[in-house]
Amino acid sequence: MIKRITALAAAVALATLGFVAPSQAATEKDCAKKAVWCVGLVTDIGKVDDKSFNQSAWEGAKKAAKQLNGVSKYVETQDPKDYATNIALFADKKYDIIVTVGFLMADATAEAAVKYPNVKFIGVDQFYGGDAQNYTGLGFPEDKAGFIVGYLGGYLTKSGKTAAIAGGPDSIPPVRKFIEGFREGVAYAAKERGRSFPAASTVYYTGANAFQDPAWGASTAAQYLTQGYDVIFSAGGKTGNGGLARVAQQKGAYCIGVDTDQWDTVPEARNCLVTSAMKLIPQGVIKLVKDAKADKFPGGYYLGKVGAAPYHDFSSKIKKSVQKKVAKVTKRVIKGTIPTNVAP
């Protein structure tokens, strides 16, 4: 059970914190004890309950701590300038491992790894090629997940018009890889079908509230729908969720989620949600936390796994022949025998 903590030092006013205590009732006061494993998580400026990326990372951290009879706590960052301060909230209290979420936190995490050599760091969506063995960047081949759902979209579209809405800028590699992978997957399906579909339309969020602007996601999806687009990949935290919810209002249109199985996290989109391009974030976080506890922490860069979510209610609506094609292509894309043609 998550409890909000309201009385903290002044520095903590920069963030919102949550706490989960294990059955042994250990607390962060016990973090200095070798027997108690403490896991802290720092979000980027997105919320921990974004029903997508941050939430998936938190679920992994929380489960790992529970399985190790430890303690887990999160910090929601309100402003990018507070990255270092929020990381220090855990490091100074002798947490064993700190999970930082998002590409934009890479520099702050790398600096913290040098400053706190006895603390392990997992940087979700961060590429790390440095020498600090206490820092592992957890990345994913997002282009493969995007390609798989794009391939499906290429078989579902009737109008031939497909689109990908990104809740963040294309300067963030994971965002760009998802979107470009989707476009390539649609093109692969169109070629396989012998159809001359236009390339999937793509649009990136460029405002000040990346990943937190559901109104923009909804209005962008609405524009596509009025133009006859019938398959829309809406990706990127609450911004993407807004797009999913809007597509759900359009009869005959399909929407595709991102990061986690959004059938569970965005139920209002179930009318259109045929699948989600998944990064297996919880599994990756759990593995690395356990590796750290077992003194097997890899350091450097660790590549997690991706896939596509189940079809749920759409399993009876999608042709079995199409489902078989998607399953076959998924295996080949994951293995690498079908290239996505997306730059790393």
Closest C-alpha to 312, from 233, 234, 244, 256: 256
Laid out side by side, the sheet with 231-235 consists of 201-204, 162-166, 231-235, 254-259, 273-279, 306-308
Give Cα 302 to chain centroid, integer Å. 15
Angle at 182 (CA atoms; ends 181, 188), nearest 5 degrees:
90
pLDDT by residue for the chain (344 residues), tens only, comes to: 333 333 333 344 344 455 544 445 689 899 999 899 999 999 988 789 888 888 999 999 999 999 999 999 999 999 999 999 999 999 999 999 999 999 999 999 999 999 999 999 999 999 988 888 999 999 999 999 999 999 999 999 999 999 999 999 999 999 999 999 999 999 999 999 999 999 999 999 999 999 999 999 999 999 999 999 999 999 999 999 999 999 999 999 999 999 999 999 999 999 999 999 999 999 999 999 999 999 999 999 999 999 999 999 999 999 999 999 999 999 999 999 999 999 98
pLDDT at 17: 52
Closest C-alpha to 275, from 235, 218, 304, 239: 235
Global model pTM greater than 0.85:
yes
Asked if the 3-140+281-303 domain carries CATH number 3.40.50.2300, the reply is yes
pLDDT at 25: 65
Positions of CATH 3.40.50.2300 in the chain: 3-140+281-303, 142-278+311-335
Total count of residues recorded for the chain: 344
pLDDT at 7: 36
Class of domain 142-278+311-335: alpha beta
pLDDT at 51: 81
Tokens found for residue 317: 């609506």
**What 3-state DSSP class applies to 85?**
helix
* 154 within 8 A of 164, measured Cβ to Cβ: no
**Token pair 């935290």: residue:** 237
Give Cα 180 to chain centroid, integer Å. 16
pLDDT at 274: 98
Q: Render the burial of 155-190: b for 16+ CB within 10 Å, e for the rest.
A: bbbeebbbbbbbbbebebbbbbbbbbbbbbbbbbbb
Please state, as a whole number, how many other Cβ atoms lie within 10 Å of the Cβ of residue 239.
29
- H helical segments located in the chain: 53-67, 83-91, 106-115, 142-156, 173-193, 214-226, 237-247, 262-265, 281-293, 320-335
